[in-house]
Amino acid sequence: MKYVVNKKNTRYFAGIELIGGLKLGSEDYQKIPKLWSDLLEVYIKDIPNQIKPNNCIGLEMYRFDFMESRTMDYYALIEISELFDCEEDLVTKKLPKGSYISFEISFDNIRDEVERVYNFVKKEQINVHLGFDVEEYIPGQDYTKPGAKLYLTFKLDE
């Protein structure tokens, strides 16, 4: 499986959260497209300090009780140049400086692709930070049509 490792500076993002989280194996995944529509059609105008062109990510953060609850927090986010005081519906997140490993995957079968990457990381004993992963959407890709690609990215534990 192909991957790249890049060093990244601290990055900042703003957007909205999937209220109630995302339960593995549930129908919660069907709520994600609506979350993205809401971000890009309603909330984007309220986000200051956007970096152009927009760099969008889906951030999955694993709760402390993930093994029991099988629930994670999911955020639809746009990169910003600095954090700001949020309105009630918006959130900001900071991704730490460090080395990140990225796998190019197909958006068409994203859940299967994510599982395949996780199995590869485990099999190869790649030392990734287990608190979160990032779906990095590639500018210029059309995610409404078949064949779009994105990067599944993990912070490496150093």
Please give the pLDDT value at position 70: 81
Amino acid identity for residue 152 in this structure: L
Asked whether residue 87 carries a pLDDT value surpassing 80, the answer given is: no
Q: Which residue has the tokens 């190869």?
A: 124
Please give the pLDDT value at position 111: 87
- pLDDT category at 4 given cuts 50, 70, 90 is very high
Domain hosting residue 89, numbered range: 4-155
- 25-47: average pLDDT: 91
- 49-59: average pLDDT: 94
Please give the pLDDT value at position 106: 97
- 111-136: average pLDDT: 94
Task: Region of 147 please: left (phi>0), alpha (psi -120 to 50) or beta.
Answer: left
Asked whether residue 5 carries a pLDDT value surpassing 80, the answer given is: yes
CATH number of the domain to which 110 belongs: 3.20.80.10
Rounded percentage of the chain residues whose pLDDT exceeds 90: 78
Residue range 102-112, pLDDT digits in tens: 999 999 999 89
Q: How many domains does the chain have?
A: 1
* Of the candidate ranges 34-38, 67-71, 97-101, 111-115, the one whose mean pLDDT is the lowest: 67-71
Q: Distance of CA 20 to CAs 17, 63, 71, 108, 109, Å?
A: 9, 12, 9, 25, 24
Asked whether residue 81 carries a pLDDT value surpassing 90, the answer given is: yes
- 127-134: average pLDDT: 93
